[in-house]
Amino acid sequence: MDEVVKAARTSREAFGQLFIYFYPPIFAYCSRRLLVRALAEDITSEVFLKAAVGITEFSGSCAEDFRRWLFCIATNEINAHLRQSIRRRELLEAAVQMGTVEAAVSTSLLSNETPLTWEEVYQALCELPDREQSIISLRFFAGFKHEQIAAVLEIKTGTVRVALNRALNKLRDHLRTP
């Protein structure tokens, strides 16, 4: 895949291969952050459009660099949309329709057996600053390690660890209060 990344700077076919390979994880990340399929599709398309336009300036040399770059673009696009959007209410209503988060997921957040509705979790996430939302989403929805999150957000690994810990504590506190 590293050779495809290098070739993508000059080859549409190579960029197409990267699109096919990386579209599912980028779309999944956008879907989990935005909850509305059509909106996630739009943002994902915007991510790949920006990547196609900027591929000649892309400084990375391997698939992992490209993956981080895509997630960085996706994070920025999502955050920009959420900041500019007056549709938070619509997103929250979509979350309500998604039902209940399983106990296995909620126990990692709360360390108890009480299942949460996705509405409660999403509402608590929305109350966090954009950077903390991004860190939690990259860690738990995209499966990134601390070092990878740091590269995407262009911050230090230690900052990621501290911010993640604080964000999880805020979530726990918010979700425990009735």
Quick one: pLDDT at residue 106?
38
Phi and psi of 4, rounded to 5°? -65, -40
* Domains in the chain with CATH codes: 1-85 (1.10.1740.10), 86-178 (1.10.10.10)
Q: Which residue has the higher pLDDT, 156 or 116?
A: 156
Beta strands in the chain (DSSP E): none
Burial (0-12, 13-18, 19+ Cβ within 10 Å), 155: middle
Give 9-26 pLDDT, tens digit per residue: 889 999 999 999 999 999
- Beta-bridge partner residues of 69: none
Q: Is the pLDDT of residue 162 over 90?
A: yes
d(CA 170, CA 62): 36
Give 94-143 pLDDT, tens digit per residue: 555 555 443 344 344 444 445 566 677 778 888 888 889 889 888 888 88
